[in-house]
Amino acid sequence: MSGILSRYDQGPFFCEIMGQAGTTAVEHTTAIRERLAQLDLAALQRRSEDAERELYNLGITFTVYSEKDAIDRILPFDVIPRILSRDDWAHLEAGVIQRVTAINLFLADVYGPQHALKDGIVPAELVLGNSNYRPEMIGVKVAHGAYTNICGIDVVRDDKGRFMVLEDNARTPSGVSYVLENRNMMLRAFPDLTTDISIRPVDNYGPKLQEAMVEIAPEGVADPQVVLLSPGTYNSAYFEHIFLAREMGVPLVEGRDLVVENDRVYMKTTGGLERVHTIYRRLNDDFLDPEAFRPDSTLGVPGLMRAYRAGNVALANSVGTGVADDKAVYAYMPRLIKYYMEQEAILDNVQTNICREADALAYTLDNLDKLVVKPVAESGGYGITVGPKASKEELEVCRASLLADPANYISQPTIQLSVCPTLVEGEVEPRHVDLRPFAITGKSTWVLPGGLTRVALRRGSLVVNSSQGGGSKDTWVLG
Amino acid sequence: MARLLARFAEDMFWLARNMERAENLARILDVNETFSRDARGSQNWLSIVQLHAGAEGFFKKHQAATANAVINYYLLDPENSSSIAYCLKAARDNARTLRPLLSTELWTQANMFHAWIRTLTPADIGRADLSRLCSKIKEGCQTHTGILEGTLYRDEGWYFYQLGKLIERADQATRLLDIKYHMLLPSAAEVGSPLDVSQWNALLRSAAGYHAYRRVQPRGMSPASVAGFLIFNNAFPRSVAVSIATIDEIVVRLRQRYGLRAGNQTLEILDGLRGTLANRSIDMVLGGGLHEFLDWIQLQLIAITDDLGKSFFGHPPASQVQAQVA
């Protein structure tokens, strides 16, 4: 092999373009490998710089706050795509739909009859004592039983190439804007790479989302008014909020633009108040309504929960979905799939030790240097201890935290995450990746082909979060 | 399609004002640089500070109104709300909020323009570079205007943008005249002197109005005719008269097309302004005091802005504001 892959060594890992280590390269990427072989590093580097400059100029950024300034950063974009075969995708798609279905059945149960708790499938205190559990949701009717209308399921592959679910994001998953913008960028920057290869398109995400928002609107409204509710311009995901509002062609509102009168929601326009029927909210439960939740928050809309409970407005996602994507509840998901759907889970979980259980805690403490320990309440990669990479001191800190509050932690074996060739500092090297497919649920569930591939840009790092220096890649599902 | 959010209407209005203001600040700095190449140079730079009623803020930071201090304060100082850097940052913030409504090209240019101005340091804005720099800023603002003209979807938001642009333009025309007429001329004896004529010439050029003026006045140049041109000419796009007439048209069309009922007070003020402009000659204005007249126009523009706030942007009426304060 010549060109940019000539010196590429995937190591012991499964590679998203080459396949399993020690075997011949997978067939479905042949055409793409041949094209990559024709690119030289300097040209690739140049195009990569062009692409990143364009992202910055377009303001496709997330915002990091320092003491003095808001700094816009781009999510570093890697120009070598990650490629999924048609069969792999069919498997993933079916697995995601099954998982989302189970999550919605679980939420309907938790805020309804609570069969799974009574039958002991999930410990009741794990659900009812969870900080994301919202008793305000009991008895609220949700259209089509769709609680998590927008759901992101984080998936990784092990050294055999097997897909496993790492985490469910049932609240307000971010990142879909990068999926669409990365694709735009690739199509423009690499005509030679993308011509005549059948890549499943991603640009119908906006219309699909809009369709679902209309499907969940209160009954009897002929032409429902949908809005996207953002915490505002200082939010780190503000670009995504703009992006989604624009893709759906709906107003991007903030809490101060909305008002509740007679349990109905209105937005303030130049001509006075206008009725709103569906809110895609990118605001956490806590901030949604100071009457119902945090009274000190000014980001939300006083009375919104009253309007919601009265059935006069739909919220996407529904309130209280966080109880299903909790890292502790996650461990029970395969059993919940079986319980509600009488099916085996199509996508396995990563083996998970629930430290609230004595055996799991003991096992975790004995194997700290081999395990990843995660607090169940945090997101964004904070508070995670990666055992094999941690210093002695870090492991001792972790041990103390575990002993102080075992119920706050789970542990998992370190998965040898798959890698993908990635342009780093002028060289193409393997870097670890994960994948977040996005599922939209209204009357039924649809999965955007592909999803967000995040890549750990530091050599050997398994942490792909943008807040921890990760980047992203375009994800191609071959058609 | 949904009505325009009140907050977006206001951001549109201010996006236009901030951009227009940055452009006019560049014009003022540019023309002043030309004015100041004489014995009274230092006094001339002080006039810019006075023009923006910014003496207090300025002298907190600078001991004297030297060329460098004034240029730095009005071009780069991010804390001075009358600086170009501040206006462009504010415009970029408006554009960022408005992104769902703006074309990608319009946003990208505002974003890049702001990123560029942020890279400037005091070393880049010496007097030798000032004119070139002001040209670049004007060009950036005009590129914005051009992209907007060619790409912005013409719904309600477009009308509010036009209102902001025109109100700011009328306001700035009065300021530009004021700086020359009120501050610069040392004595009546110098009226019509070569120095005086060259300053009016520079002022006209800074308003991009020299050639247009020549078409109206092929020969000579008097303070009265230049001031008259910038106030009353009904074909020059930066004149007060054209701005006021267009504001009036825009408000009427906005109300008709979108069935908006508010804005009555704005229309009344506009009637008064148009009547005054139609019934007065430049000699009558000069007789009564140019500065006083320009001041009156500025107050009318402020009153219009207040009424737009109450009528369309969801600001509480004045009585309510007082009640809240009490």
**CA atoms in the 13 A half-sphere facing the CB of A427:** 9
Residues 63-82 in B contacting A (C-alpha not used; CB under 8 Å): none
Contact A103, A151 (CB under 8 A): yes
Residue with tokens 């509102």: A253
**Chain B residues with CB inside 8 Å of A58's CB?**
104, 107-108, 111
Domains in chain A: boundaries: 351-413
Q: Inter-chain contact B5–A253, Cβ cutoff 8 Å?
A: yes
Distance CA A103, CA A171 (A): 11
SS3 letters for B228-243?
A: HHHHHCCCCCCCHHHH
Confidence (pLDDT) at B38: 67
Check A246 against B3: CB less than 8 A apart: no
The verdict on a CB contact (< 8 Å) between B99 and A57 is: no
Q: Quick: pLDDT tens for B268-278.
A: 999 999 999 99
What's phi and psi for A471, nearest 5 deg?
Answer: -125, -165
- B99 and A267 within 8 Å at the Cβ level: the answer is no
A223: contact with B, CB 8 A cutoff: no
- CB atoms closer than 10 angstroms to residue A106: 27
Best mutation target, B98, B99, B143, to test chain A (most A CBs within 10 A): B99
Q: Are A57 and B111 within 8 A, CB to CB? A: yes
Nearest CB among A242, A246, A257 relative to B5 is that of A257
pLDDT, tens digit, 9 for 90 and up, residues A6-47: 889 999 999 999 999 999 999 999 999 998 888 888 888 998
Q: B308-321: per-residue pLDDT in tens?
A: 999 999 888 765 55
Reported as a single tens digit per residue, the pLDDT across A42-71 is 888 998 888 888 888 887 777 766 555 666
Distance CA A146, CA A352 (A): 27
Question: Average pLDDT for residues B58-72, to the nearest whole number?
Answer: 90
Cross-chain Cβ contact B104/A58 below 8 Å? yes
B96 touching chain A per CB within 8 A: yes
Residue of chain A with shortest Cα separation from B103 = A246
pLDDT in tens, B186-236: 555 566 677 677 778 888 888 888 899 999 988 888 888 999 999 999 999
Peptide bond into A317 cis (omega under 30): yes
Instruction: Provide the chain A residues 142-201 that lie in CB contact (below 8 A) with chain B.
Output: none
* Contacts across the A-B interface (CB distance below 8 Å): 63
Q: Tell the burial category of B105 from Cβ atoms under 10 Å away from its Cβ (0-12, 13-18, 19+).
A: middle
Closest-CA residue of A relative to B259 is A271
Interface of A with B in 283-322 (CB under 8 A): none
Q: What pTM does this model have?
A: 0.89
CATH of domain A351-413: 3.30.1490.270
| Closest by Cβ to B112, choosing from A57, A242, A252 | A57
Q: Which residue spans within A348-451 are E strands per DSSP?
A: 348-349, 353-354, 371-375, 385-386, 409-413, 419-424, 427-436, 438-441, 445-447
Task: Give me the half-sphere count of Cα atoms (radius 13 Å) on the Cβ side of residue A14.
Answer: 19
Per-domain residue ranges of chain B: 13-153, 155-315
